Structure formats: structure tokens, C-alpha cells
Chains A and B, each alone.
Chain A
Amino acid sequence: GDSVTQMEGPVTLSEEAFLTINCTYTATGYPSLFWYVQYPGEGLQLLLKATKADDKGSNKGFEATYRKETTSFHLEKGSVQVSDSAVYFCALNTDKLIFGTGTRLQVFP
């Protein structure tokens, strides 16, 4: 069945460091791909999405490109801030949302 695999955390970075969180997927058909973020005490929020191959989703300095050839949707940010500390979930949508296990990001000053 369809599935999402993302790197285990926590990912610990200093402020202004470069961030990559890997995400790969397995799906039949052509899913839409998403990154959600969950800040402490809050619900998941959609961070960015891409609906077809080679699309790049971007928001708040984060980017991810839908790579069909490598079945990947890695999340990147050039310079992280302390306020980016949260749990990040990669997900795909065919007829329902399927989530990865989440990656906790901790950014220190």
C-alpha cells in the first residue's frame, strides 16, 4: 500500500544553519505531496504542498520539490530560526492523507 518514510529525529541545528529533512514515498498513481508542521501545543498546519512532478512547494523560507524519479519530497530551508523548532510531517494524498512518522527539529541560538 501507499506509504511515506521520513528521517528520524530529532534534528538539532544552530540558528542560521541549513536544514534538510528527507522524505520518500511509495504510491500507486500520482499523489499530491505535503509537508505539515506541528508547533508545541498546536494542531498540524499545512506548510507547503506540490500536486505534480517537478512542482516546487514553498512557504516561510521552506521548499520541497516533487521528484517522481526518486519518489522524494525533501524539505529544505537555507537558514533556520529558533522559531522553526517543531515537528514536521511529510504526507501524501491519494484518496486519503498518509503521514510519515514526523521529524522533530530543534534549533538552538
Chain B
Amino acid sequence: GAVVSQHPSRVICKSGTSVKIECRSLDFQATTMFWYRQFPKQSLMLMATSNEGSKATYEQGVEKDKFLINHASLTLSTLTVTSAHPEDSSFYICSASRRVETQYFGPGTRLLVL
């Protein structure tokens, strides 16, 4: 299967700072990338969908100014958590897709905001 990487795998930051998470598709060109958030013992919740070269589509209840998504190329999408607070601590997972119903997932990034 296709390989998707995320960087960093784990990050700890102070409250009020911004954190950038990278998602890369290593061996294919992803027309669409997705960002999910997972709370402990809960399911993955879709945050936003991004297509290369266009603005991301955010799910209801997700603040677009808080979670900035950039999909600059067919192999890279970034999620920036701006002015992070402890309630933003979570596990963030990206996936990349080249056709409908086939998503390849990254290993996730654990964010801890102190």
C-alpha cells in the first residue's frame, strides 16, 4: 500500500504557541488530503478536507482560523494549530487519497499543550 508520513510524531509546546504538523505522501500524488483528530478512547473525527491548490473544507464546529491547513503540493499538506491551548491536546492523523474511497493514513502526531 501507499506510504504516508507525518512529522513530528510527538510534540510538546507551551500554551499560546503555534505548532505545524506535516503530512507527506511518499510514493504517490495525493489529490486530496484529510485531517482527523482522535481523543482518547474515541473515534477519529474528520476536521477538514483539502485539495491541492484550493482552500480546505472544514467540518462543522472546526475553527478554520484555529486550524490552518495548507495543501501546497500533491505530496504535502500542513496543519498549523495556532495559539494552542491545553484543550487542543490530542492525536492528529492525516490521510491522503488519489481516488474516492481509498485513503492512506499517516501514523499520527500526538500534541501536548502545557
Q: What A residues does B107 contact at CB under 8 A?
A: 41-43
Give A96 Cβ to nearest chain B Cβ, in Å: 5
Contacts A32-B101, A43-B93 known; A102 to B43 CB distance under 8 Å? Answer: yes
Of the A-B pairs whose beta carbons lie under 8 Å apart in the complex, a sample of 20, sorted by A's number, is A32-B101, A41-B107, A43-B105, A43-B106, A44-B105, A45-B105, A46-B1, A49-B101, A89-B43, A89-B44, A93-B101, A96-B46, A97-B44, A98-B46, A99-B43, A99-B44, A100-B43, A101-B41, A101-B43, A102-B43
1/0 contact trace for B7-37 toward A, CB 8 Å?
Answer: 0000000000000000000000000001000
Query: In the complex, A29→B103 CA distance in Å?
Result: 21
State the A residues within 8 Å of B (CB).
Answer: 4, 32, 36, 41-46, 49, 89, 93, 96-102
Q: Establish whether residues B106 and A101, one from each chain, have CB atoms under 8 Å apart when the complex forms.
A: no
Q: In chain A, what residue has the closest Cβ to B59?
A: A96
Q: Establish whether residues A43 and B108, one from each chain, have CB atoms under 8 Å apart when the complex forms.
A: yes
Which 7 pairs from chain A and chain B are nearest by CB?
A: A43-B105, A44-B105, A99-B43, A43-B107, A99-B44, A101-B43, A43-B106
Contacts A43-B4, A43-B108, A45-B1 known; A97 to B42 CB distance under 8 Å? Answer: no
By secondary structure, the A interface counts as strand
Q: What B residues does A49 contact at CB under 8 A?
A: 101
With an 8 A cutoff between CB atoms, is B77 at the interface?
Answer: no
1/0 contact trace for B49-81 toward A, CB 8 Å?
Answer: 100000000000000000000000000000000
Q: What A residues does B42 contact at CB under 8 A?
A: 101
Q: What A residues does B46 contact at CB under 8 A?
A: 96-98
Query: In the complex, A32→B101 CA distance in Å?
Result: 9
Q: Which of A41, A96, A97 has the most CB of B within 10 A?
A: A97
Q: Establish whether residues A96 and B93, one from each chain, have CB atoms under 8 Å apart when the complex forms.
A: no
Query: In the complex, A13→B4 CA distance in Å?
Result: 31
Give A9 Cβ to nearest chain B Cβ, in Å: 10
